[in-house]
Amino acid sequence: MDVLMRTLYPPGRCRRCADMLDIVTQIRVSEAAAFLGVSTDTVRRLLSANELEAAGGSPVTVDGASLGRYARDHAVAPADRLGVARSARNRFVGIVTEVVSDAVMSQVELQCGPHRVVSLMSTESVRDLGLEPGVVATAVVKATTVIVETAEGDR
């Protein structure tokens, strides 16, 4: 992304865009630690071991692209025990934490790692799947629209 943006918006042609790109890709060590679910000391060790790239500056910041690659490559997700092939790529294994049902519809909440996933389905499906708190289940998301947001200050 960094190379693409610099190609589209070289510093001489659009200084503001190149400056914004630099701001967006610098992540504080404490924020990087929160994203990875580790301590700030661990992030500093990863920087020292060149497993994460520093973005430079003072105080030291982590390069956002490097952090993204590291997070993707080292993501720990519970194994999907079903072993079924699907076209949907967004699969989140988790634990059912709550089921709220009426006669027709149910709301099922799963905790999938650090993510809370909520599904609305028929109460009949809840019964057929045996969904109740403590059951391991996989949320499969196949959507035509995915909305991505950033903070206003990052633009």
Separation CA 58–CA 85 (nearest Å): 47
Residue 59: cis peptide before it, omega within 30 degrees of 0: yes
Between 57 and 20, name the one with better pLDDT: 57
Separation CA 95–CA 92 (nearest Å): 10
- Quote the pLDDT of residue 24: 45
Residue 84 lies in a domain: no
Residue 30 lies in a domain: yes
Residue 5 lies in a domain: no
Q: How many residues does the chain have?
A: 155
Residue 1 lies in a domain: no
Between 27 and 17, name the one with better pLDDT: 27
Residues 15-31 have a mean pLDDT of: 62
Q: Does residue 22 share a domain with residue 46?
A: yes
Residues 64-69 have a mean pLDDT of: 84
Q: Which domain CATH number covers 133?
A: 2.40.50.100
Residues 50-70 have a mean pLDDT of: 86
pLDDT surpasses 90 at 90: no
The answer for residues whose C-beta is within 8 angstroms of residue 8's C-beta and 6 or more apart is 17
Q: Which helix (H) or strand (E) holds 121?
A: strand 115-122
pLDDT digits (tens, 9 = 90+) for 92-144: 888 899 999 999 999 999 988 778 899 999 999 999 999 998 888 889 888 77
Q: How many domains does the chain have?
A: 2
Q: Does residue 135 share a domain with residue 104?
A: yes
Domain ranges, residue 116: 90-141
Residue 85 lies in a domain: no
Question: Percentage of the chain with pLDDT > 70?
Answer: 74
Q: How confident is the model at residue 77 (pLDDT cuts 50, 70, 90)?
A: low
* Across 8-17, 18-27, 88-97, least confident range: 8-17
Q: Does residue 30 share a domain with residue 65?
A: yes
Mean pLDDT score of the chain: 78
- Quote the pLDDT of residue 55: 83
